[in-house]
Structures are given as structure tokens and as C-alpha cells.
Amino acid sequence: MTCFPDTTGYARLTVGSNGRMFTDLQSAIDAAQLGTVIVVDADHVTEGTIVLRKKDVGSGWIIILPSTINALPNQGLRISPTMASVMPRFVTTNTAGHPAVRTESGAHHYRLIGIEITADEKVQESYGLVFLGDNGPAQTTLEEVPHHLIIDRCYIHGHTNGTVMKFGVRLDCANAAIIDSYISDFHSIGFDAQAIAA
């Protein structure tokens, strides 16, 4: 599951400020079907919360990767924070602690590659940057559990100004993997914090 799939025949969508098919990533995700590669300009910043939608049309994966994919290490090699300059950024700006990325109920077959995911400096309390699934009443049946989700060579980090940077990635899903990524700066006062929680 963790090896990069054969994308022959996949659709291709592009995201960026100028000359691309979409100017915002969420619109591209909403338009995508299974079997789509979404290429995001490396200087593109997405603020707020990206929602990985449940898609049942098509086959294969929805792959989100940077236009600078060739500047990243090859599969099997871990990225470092110094590579942030060639990565698109997903930044949560929500001061109520909402994540930068979350899944819709039942979402499946997403692969994120080469993305920087973080919280804006004004966010003092973050209760997780990436939520893959839900550990509450919104997810009570197997059909609602997201599955086949991969985070590959991503840089996921909090910041030192926050009082609560609780989770990097929360896994309440099935068949998920975090590979060759760099996760740092998760901390809190008064209770524990985790880079990866399940």
C-alpha cells in the first residue's frame, strides 16, 4: 500500500495563483475523482482546514503533491525541515483549535506527498494538525471510518509560541501510513502531547 501507485491514466489537476486550473486546493479536491493527481505549486499557501472528501467514483487514489516533486528525496528517504521551501503549505489559522487537514466521514484512498502542514503563529492552542478520522460520535460505524490514507515525505510541525500543540497527526482510521515524514514541535502545559496519536 505504501509504494507509489502506477498513475498511468490518472487525471491531472493543477493548483496555483496564476495559470492553473484552480486557485484554491479545496475546489480541486471537490472536483477530483479517484484516479487523480493534484499538483500544487510549491509557493501556494492554503489557510484554514482542508477537507479530504469521500469519493466513490473512479478507481485508484487521489494524490496531492507539489510541483517540485523532483526536488524531494526519492521514496524511502526521509525529508527534513530544510526542504520546506519546495513544499506547498497547509496552515490552520483557526484559533479554536481546528486542524489544517481532516477527513470527511468514509473518505479513502488519499496520498499527501511533500506538504508542509502547520499552525499560524497566532494560533495558541492547536488540538491536532491532521485528523484522519474522528474519535467522537461522528464516527460510530465501520462505513464511516476513513481508510487507505498515506502521508508521505511531509513536514508537519507546531510552533514554540503556542501553549497547546497537542497532536501532529491523529489516526482514527484504518489502513493508514505515515512514511519518511518529519514531525516536530508538539507540546503542551499540563497534559501530554504526541507527534502521532491513535
Question: What's this model's pTM, rounded to 2 decimal places?
Answer: 0.95
pLDDT digits (tens, 9 = 90+) for 14-44: 999 999 999 999 999 999 999 999 999 999 9
pLDDT of 161 reads 83
Q: How far apart are CA 198 and CA 114, in angstroms?
A: 22
Q: Euclidean distance between the first and final Cα of the chain, in Å?
A: 19
pLDDT of 100 reads 97
| Spatial CB neighbours of 126, under 8 Å, sequence gap ≥ 6 | 92, 97, 99, 119, 158, 162, 164, 165, 166
pLDDT of 16 reads 97
Strand partners, 169: 130, 196
Say which residue the cell 525529508 belongs to: 79
Q: How far apart are CA 115 and CA 66, in angstroms?
A: 7
Cα torsion through 89, 94, 95, 97, rounded to 10: -90
pLDDT of 124 reads 87
Q: How far apart are CA 97 and CA 109, in angstroms?
A: 26
Residues (pLDDT < 70) of the chain are: none
